[in-house]
Amino acid sequence: MLSVSPDPVVEDADESPYAVRVEDLSITYKTTFERKPTLKQALVRFGRGERKVHTVEALKNVSFDIRVGTAMGIIGSNGAGKSTLMRAMAGILPPTSGNVEVWGRASTLLALGVGFNKALSGRENIVLGGLAAGLSRREVEERVEEIAEWTELGEFIDMPMNTYSSGMAARVGFSVAVHMRPDILMIDEALSTGDAHFREKASAKMAELRDSARAMFLISHGLGSISEMCNDCIWLDKGRLMMRGSPEEVIDAYMTYVKVKKSPTTTEEM
C-alpha cells in the first residue's frame, strides 16, 4: 500500500519529522513470455509456443525510514532493486506486500528522457512533463520559459526531440524534474548524463534542491557523487537491504563486498 500525506508527522519534538517510511516492502515482477519451441516440439504442437511465467523478486522485505533533511544515496550492483525501490516510493509501482508512506509531493527523475514524445519539440515536452507532474496549465505556462532556458539548448528547444542527442534529451528531463519544486526529490543516475559543464550545473542545482526539499534520494553508480551529495546511504543486493549508514561506511562495505580495489576511477565506475 502506498500512502501520501501532505504534511510531515512529528512524533518526537527532538527529531525531524518523517519524510518517507518503507515497511517490509516486497515487490515481485511477473512477466509472461512466449518460449520459442524446439523444432520437435513445434512439429508435435503444430508450431504453438509455450507461455512461461518468469518471476523476479526485485525487493524482499525492505524496511527503513528517513526524516526531513535526509539526502539518501542508494547503491548496489545492476539488478539489485534500486530503481524498483525508487518507483515504489514514487507511487509508480504498487508494492506486492508491505507499505510505503510518503509525506509530500515526490518528483522523480527516473530513466531520464523516457516518456518523451520524440516527435514533439523540447518545449512541447516540457509542457507535457509539467502537466504529467501535476502542475496546472497556468503553473506550466508560468514556468515553461525558465525550464526551457535552463536547458541551454538554444534554438534546439523548438525542434523535434528526435533530432536531439541523448545528453540533450536528458537536459530537458532534468530541467523539468528539478523545476517541479518537489518535497521529495528522487534522482536516478542523473549525474551521469550530459557533458562536463551540464553535470556541474546539475550538481549545483541538486545541492540547492537538497537544501530546500524535505528529502532527496539519489541512485548512482558514481559512488563519488553519493559521498558528495548524501548524508545517509543504503546498499541493496539482490533485492535485500544489506546495510544502512553514513555514505562512507556503506560504500566501504560495498566495495569490500565486491572486492574492487578502491581508487578514484573504480569509485566512479561502480
Ligand X SMILES: Nc1ncnc2c1ncn2[C@@H]1O[C@H](COP(=O)(O)OP(=O)(O)OP(=O)(O)O)[C@@H](O)[C@H]1O
Q: Does 157 bind ligand X (CB under 6 A)?
A: no
Binding to ligand X (CB under 6 A) within 55-94 occurs at: 56, 58, 76, 78-84
Q: Does 31 bind ligand X (CB under 6 A)?
A: yes
Query: Which CB, 98 or 122, lies closer to ligand X?
Result: 98
CB of residue 124 to ligand X, shortest distance in Å: 28
CB of residue 189 to ligand X, shortest distance in Å: 7
Which of 29, 94, 97, 149: binder of ligand X (CB under 6 A)? 29
CB of residue 59 to ligand X, shortest distance in Å: 8
Query: Which CB, 41 or 77, lies closer to ligand X?
Result: 77
Q: Does 125 bind ligand X (CB under 6 A)?
A: no
CA–CA dist 14, 21 (Å, integer): 18
**CB atoms < 10 A from the CB of 41, how many?**
14
CB of residue 218 to ligand X, shortest distance in Å: 13
CB of residue 180 to ligand X, shortest distance in Å: 22
Query: Which CB, 56 or 242, lies closer to ligand X?
Result: 56
Query: Which CB, 27 or 148, lies closer to ligand X?
Result: 27
CB of residue 194 to ligand X, shortest distance in Å: 18
Query: Which CB, 57 or 124, lies closer to ligand X?
Result: 57
DSSP letters, the chain, are -EEEESS-----TTSPPEEEEEEEEEEEEEEEEEEPPPHHHHHHTTT--EEEEEEEEEEEEEEEEEETTEEEEEE-STTSSHHHHHHHHTTSS--SEEEEEEES-EEEE-STTTT--TTSBHHHHHHHHHHHTT--HHHHHHHHHHHHHHTT-GGGGGSBGGGS-HHHHHHHHHHHHHTT--SEEEEESGGGSS-HHHHHHHHHHHHHHHHHSSEEEEE-S-HHHHHHH-SEEEEEETTEEEEEE-HHHHHHHHHHHTT----HHHHHH-
Query: Which CB, 83 or 151, lies closer to ligand X?
Result: 83
Query: Which CB, 80 or 106, lies closer to ligand X?
Result: 80
Helix axes of 137-150 and 122-132: crossing angle, nearest 10 degrees: 130
Binding to ligand X (CB under 6 A) within 203-222 occurs at: none
- The answer to whether residues 121 and 129 touch, using CB atoms and an 8 Å cutoff, is no
CB of residue 221 to ligand X, shortest distance in Å: 7
Residues contacting ligand X: total by CB under 6 A: 12
Residues near ligand X (CB under 6 A) are: 29, 31, 56, 58, 76, 78-84
